Amino acid sequence: MDLSTTPESLVASDNTKLLKELAGPLFAAKRWIKLFGWMMLGNGILTVFTGWGILFCWLPIWMGVLLLKAGKALETAGNRGDKAQFLLAQDKLKTFFTVNGILMLVGIIISTIVLLLFGGVMIKMLPMLMQQGAMMQQGGFPTGP
């Protein structure tokens, strides 16, 4: 019997193996996660140069940094079987998707409000537009006396 193999070391070995299996799919996608992080970061930096974009440029920059940190943590977790790094990566990804979901909901709500306002304005203008259309059929707009 080999005394260097204790039950604790076997459990630790099994935990590391399990962690590597669980982190496997995300570890395989780490390059894409990092690439998307760099793209978000670049998008945020370019947004700085627009007028109103300076107010919102921090969002894509922050989201890009979250993805880059998640990619780095996934790389460490996959290579070393580090549980803390795997949990850190999951936390960063959770924050990224939470912020992304909130931004999508805000976008949908704002788009719906704008669509309703535009529709209301068009309905209010409909009689005037129909009157102008009738004038065009009669030979154009009156030119005066």
Higher pLDDT, 57 or 140: 57
Mean pLDDT of the chain: 85
Contact 86, 22 (CB under 8 A): yes
Report the pLDDT value the prediction gives residue 9, as an integer from 0 to 100: 52
Mapping DSSP onto H, E and C, the string for 63-94 reads HHHHHHHHHHHHHHHHHHCCHHHHHHHHHHHH
Report the pLDDT value the prediction gives residue 63, as an integer from 0 to 100: 95
User: Would you place residue 1 in the very low, low, confident or very high pLDDT band (cuts 50, 70, 90)?
Assistant: very low
Q: What are phi and psi of 141, to 5 degrees?
A: -80, 150
Contact 91, 99 (CB under 8 A): no
Report the pLDDT value the prediction gives residue 104, as an integer from 0 to 100: 96
Average pLDDT of the residues in 46-54: 86
- Does position 11 have pLDDT exceeding 60, yes or no? no
Rounded distance between C-alpha atoms, residue 8 and residue 6, angstroms: 5
